[in-house]
């Protein structure tokens, strides 16, 4: 009985619930004016996030933390196939939803969701299971290691590129490559695949005008401040206005329909404006602690499958956080990825909860 009710890592649990609560508070403040302007309800986004994202996410986290993660290994391939099918459904009229020129959502009855968020979990689950099954010398060979890995990764990448959803593609590719490298793949492969990935991103920028415009804005944010550069310049203004201690919770000016996507990928700028530099450092430290805790649990994992799974999930959270925050402060071009725990998006929060619940299960088995 003691083994059955063995608790997962307490620090991981507190970080998860603390970030979820902080995210709900920040979403309430950031989305208020937008919700009132669009729907006549300043709590519209919070209510939907609670109903469709946070509450199901907490349930998923609790259930998965008490299920032996090793049982998920046999479900890795079926789960990945299901999410790949869902990625295809976004292009089918009547099932897929096209918003702003992007086909990223699926409509099934009363449910709307974003399959690209769930493929982050299922692909990392598949990579961990596949690498464990081929542990040893197989992962270091081209025909049994590199080619099968790139084949499945290429399918997911293609479906995400044509949506288009370059941000999610970069997160999945980065997290899976790091997992593959730590599983024993030769370092020269890691460098080669990283270089090939950068070349592909450069090609996408060259071939698609909107990506090229984003990249030029990243290089020269002062160009066209009322056009393509408006978003990043308003984000800079919000972050700079916050200073050391912020304007105070709920006192952002940019959220009053000046800064685009205040409830989505721009929420960090609103947080910095209201809470200031010092609180944002503490928030980034909390995200870093969560990533480090995933890696620490991986070191204590009782088997290779759990170690690789925890590494992949930690890499996913860390890379996505870096891409979002980095785009707001001008370190990387804007990619459109959400900020974990903070941004509005029920699919994103639910997928993140599933990932953290799996890591909690790994820590629970490790403590035995």
Give the pLDDT means over successive 10-residue stretches in the chain (368 positions). 62 94 94 91 92 93 91 91 89 75 73 87 92 72 74 86 83 88 76 76 71 67 69 88 92 89 91 94 96 93 91 94 91 85 92 94 80
Give me the pLDDT at residue 367, please: 65
* DSSP sequence for 159-177: HHHTTT-HHHHHHHHHHHH
Q: Is the peptide bond before 202 cis (omega within 30 degrees of 0)?
A: no
Tokens 């060259």 belong to residue: 206
Give me the pLDDT at residue 4, please: 45
Q: Supply the pTM of this predicted model.
A: 0.89
Give me the pLDDT at residue 218, please: 65
- Phi/psi of residue 112, nearest 5 degrees: -115, 130
Structure tokens at 3: 């083994």
Give the number of residues written for the chain.
368
Tokens 């099954």 belong to residue: 133
Give me the pLDDT at residue 210, please: 65
- Phi/psi of residue 99, nearest 5 degrees: -130, 125
Give me the pLDDT at residue 2, please: 52
């Amino acid at each position: 009985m003691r083994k059955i009710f063995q608790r997962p890592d307490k620090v991981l649990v507190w970080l998860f619930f603390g970030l979820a609560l902080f995210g709900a508070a920040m979403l309430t403040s950031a989305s208020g004016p937008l919700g009132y302007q669009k729907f006549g309800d300043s709590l519209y986004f919070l209510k939907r996030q609670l109903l469709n994202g946070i509450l199901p996410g907490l349930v998923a986290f609790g259930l998965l933390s008490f299920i032996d993660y090793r049982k998920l290994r046999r479900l890795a391939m079926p789960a990945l196939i299901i999410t790949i099918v869902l990625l295809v459904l976004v292009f089918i009229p009547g099932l897929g939803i096209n918003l702003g020129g992007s086909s990223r959502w699926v409509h099934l009855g009363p449910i709307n969701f974003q399959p690209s968020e769930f493929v982050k979990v299922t692909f990392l689950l598949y990579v961990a299971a596949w690498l464990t099954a081929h542990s040893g010398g197989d992962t270091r060979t081209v025909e049994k290691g590199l080619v099968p890995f790139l084949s499945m990764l290429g399918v997911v990448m293609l479906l995400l590129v044509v949506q288009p959803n370059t941000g999610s593609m970069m997160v999945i590719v980065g997290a899976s490559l790091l997992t593959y490298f730590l599983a024993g793949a030769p370092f020269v492969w890691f460098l080669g695949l990283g270089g090939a990935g950068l070349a592909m991103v450069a090609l996408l920028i060259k071939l698609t005008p909107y990506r090229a415009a984003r990249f030029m804005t990243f290089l020269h944010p002062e160009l066209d401040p009322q056009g393509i550069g408006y978003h990043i310049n308003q984000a800079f203004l919000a972050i700079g206005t916050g200073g050391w201690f912020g304007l105070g919770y709920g006192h952002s000016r940019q959220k009053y329909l000046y800064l685009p996507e205040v409830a989505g990928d721009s929420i960090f700028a609103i947080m910095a404006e209201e809470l200031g530099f010092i609180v944002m450092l503490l928030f980034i430290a909390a995200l870093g602690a969560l990533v480090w805790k995933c890696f620490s649990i991986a070191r204590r994992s009782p088997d290779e499958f759990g170690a690789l799974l925890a590494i992949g999930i930690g890499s996913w959270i860390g890379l996505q956080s870096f891409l979002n925050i980095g785009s707001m402060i001008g370190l990387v071009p804007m990619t459109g990825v959400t900020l974990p725990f903070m941004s509005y998006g029920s699919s994103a929060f639910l997928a993140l909860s599933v990932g953290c619940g799996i890591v909690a299960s790994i820590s629970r088995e490790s403590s035995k």
